[in-house]
A and B are shown apart, each in its own frame.
Chain A
Amino acid sequence: MNLLAIVFVAILANNIVLNQFLGICPYLGVSKRIETSLGMGMAVIFVMTISSIVTWIIDILLLQPFDLVYLRTIAFILVIAGLVQLVETVLKKTNPTLFRALGIYLPLITTNCTILGVALLNVQAGNNIIETIVYAISVAVGFTLALVIMAGIRERLELATLSSYLRGAAVSLVTAGILSLAFMGFKGMMTL
């Protein structure tokens, strides 16, 4: 698959949140305000790129040559959990401004299933390193896009008169459904 197609499919046609249902928890959790959702998006772009590269290298250099592919899930989740911790420590020392901006979102990312999901999808699809990096960044951008759009809608939804039964998660899910319907339109633009 050429790289442009990967970018298009990952951001729009097959959006990670709205079409593949990964990362729903942060999608519902941190989409209350545009600023916080942007912060979360940036943190996800950052961590997903690094973790995809690292897990790809581990898969090629360690798991596959030694016939340990069945340990993928365990190896990847441990690497990701450790990596998030490492990124946090390194950022704190070297780039305090960025650290303050990403701040509280970094630890939340360990439980974000998009990170593990994308790492697994990449090695399962047999992508090479360039495709892996492009795919990881595109997926994360797609996640940020969906998150920011959702935050914009929810900021206005706060002011709407709504049945008390539907407030919170229920109405957010229905909104996400309508958004997902809109994103489905992109599927017609390219045959996957």
Chain B
Amino acid sequence: MSTLAQEFSKGILKENPTFRLILGMCPTLAVTASAINGFGMGISALVVLLCSNILVAALRNVIPDKVRIPAYILIIATFTTIVDMVLNAFAPDLHKALGIFIPLIVVNCIILGRAEAFARKNNVVRSIIDALGMGLGFTLSLTILGIIRELFGSGSIFGVNVMGTAFEPMGILATAPGAFITLGVMLGFVNYMFRRLRIE
């Protein structure tokens, strides 16, 4: 049995959902045109993941094995709807920017994946730690991608102009092709770093 610290750090580094497991690609590509949107999406997914992991772990002896997938989807959909409503009420700008990708948290493979692979076999505390690690790993990856694309695509970070007026933004990075290319190059870079530092 691995310790809680290992459980927490694996989501951020060794099993980072975006860069190592290549899960949840749709929101990763779609909302990272700016750092704040990437961060917002990451936190939204983190909240849903945390709540669903807690509930799945708490009910792991109650939910019959045969109907567990529909049950998990129902749990995840409920929390997604709550997050959708909360964002709509308290952060309408972010809600508008993330658009269709908030309801689509339901079909984010990371969340169902953690319920199926982790929460249904572990107790509540370990599931919370797992959700926090995975969620933070996802948030971190999205924020990093957002920072890179925003910095070079529009010359700012979190909406603050840092490149000065002489900088000519590479508009392509803020558009759809830029998303694919930035993520592809980042994946290659992360693979290189992992092999170099022998993290396995």
The interface of chain A, by Cβ under 8 A from chain B, is 18-25, 28, 70-74, 77-78, 81, 111-113, 116-117, 120-121, 124, 163, 165-166, 169-178, 180-181, 184
Q: Are A70 and B25 in contact (CB under 8 A)?
A: no
Tell me, in angstroms, the Cα distance from A87 to B180 when the chains sit together.
33
Residues of B near A165 (CB, < 8 A) are 188-189, 191-192, 195
CA–CA, A173 to B191, complex, Å? 14
Contact B81 A116 (CB under 8 A): no
Query: Are A177 and B177 in touch, CB under 8 angstroms?
Result: yes
**Contact A70/B81 with A18-B176, A78-B70, A173-B183 known, Cβ cut-off 8 Å:** yes
User: Apart from A74-B81, A78-B77, A170-B187, what 17 extra A-B contacts exist at CB < 8 Å?
Assistant: A21-B29, A25-B109, A73-B77, A74-B77, A74-B78, A77-B73, A77-B107, A112-B107, A116-B103, A120-B103, A124-B100, A166-B191, A170-B185, A170-B188, A177-B179, A180-B176, A180-B177
Q: In angstroms, how far is the closest chain B Cβ from the Cβ of A48?
A: 14
CB < 8 Å: which of A77, A111, A177 contacts B184? A177
> CB within 8 A of A178: which of B112, B177, B185, B188?
B177
Which residues of the other chain, A, contact B163 by a CB distance below 8 angstroms?
A: none
Closest approach, in angstroms, between the C-beta of A112 and any C-beta of chain B?
8
Q: Which of A25, A116, A172 contacts B106 (CB 8 A)?
A: A116
Bound CA–CA A78/B195 (angstroms): 42
Beyond A22-B26, A28-B25, A113-B107, whether A77 also contacts B100 by CB under 8 A is: no
- Report the count of interface residues on B (CB-CB < 8 A): 42
- CA of A116 to CA of B78 in the docked complex: distance in angstroms? 15
Q: Judging by beta carbons under 8 Å apart, are A184 and B81 in contact?
A: no
Contacts of B84 in A (CB 8 A): 73
Between-chain CB contacts (< 8 Å), 15 pairs: A25-B26, A73-B77, A77-B77, A81-B73, A111-B112, A116-B103, A117-B100, A165-B192, A169-B22, A170-B191, A173-B180, A177-B178, A177-B184, A181-B172, A184-B175
Dominant secondary structure at the A interface: helix
A-binding residues in B (CB < 8 A): 22-23, 25-27, 29-30, 69-70, 73-74, 77-78, 80-81, 84-85, 100, 103-104, 106-109, 112, 172, 175-181, 183-185, 187-189, 191-192, 195
Q: Which residues of chain B are within 8 angstroms of A176 by Cβ–Cβ distance?
A: 180, 184
Instruction: Tell me the complex Cα distance, A173–B182, Å.
Output: 9
Contact indicator B181/A116 (Cβ below 8 Å): no
Which residues of chain B are near A81, meaning CB under 8 Å? 69-70, 73
Instruction: Provide the bound-state CA to CA distance between A63 and B100, in Å.
Output: 18
A120 partner residues in chain B, CB cutoff 8 A: 100, 103-104
Asked whether, in the complex, the Cβ of A28 is within 8 Å of the Cβ of B109, the reply is no
Alpha-carbon separation in the docked complex, A23 to B23 (Å)? 12
How far is the CB of B102 from the nearest CB of chain A, in Å?
9
Q: Which residues of A contact B172 (CB under 8 A)?
A: 181
Query: Looking at A78, A169, A173, A175, which has the most chain B CB atoms within 10 Å of its CB?
Result: A173
Closest 4 A-B residue pairs measured CB to CB?
Answer: A177-B180, A173-B184, A177-B181, A174-B184
Nearest CB of B to A184, in Å:
7
Q: Give the distance in Å from the alpha carbon of A28 to the alpha carbon of B22 in the complex.
A: 10
Residues from chain B with Cβ under 8 Å of A121 in the complex? 100
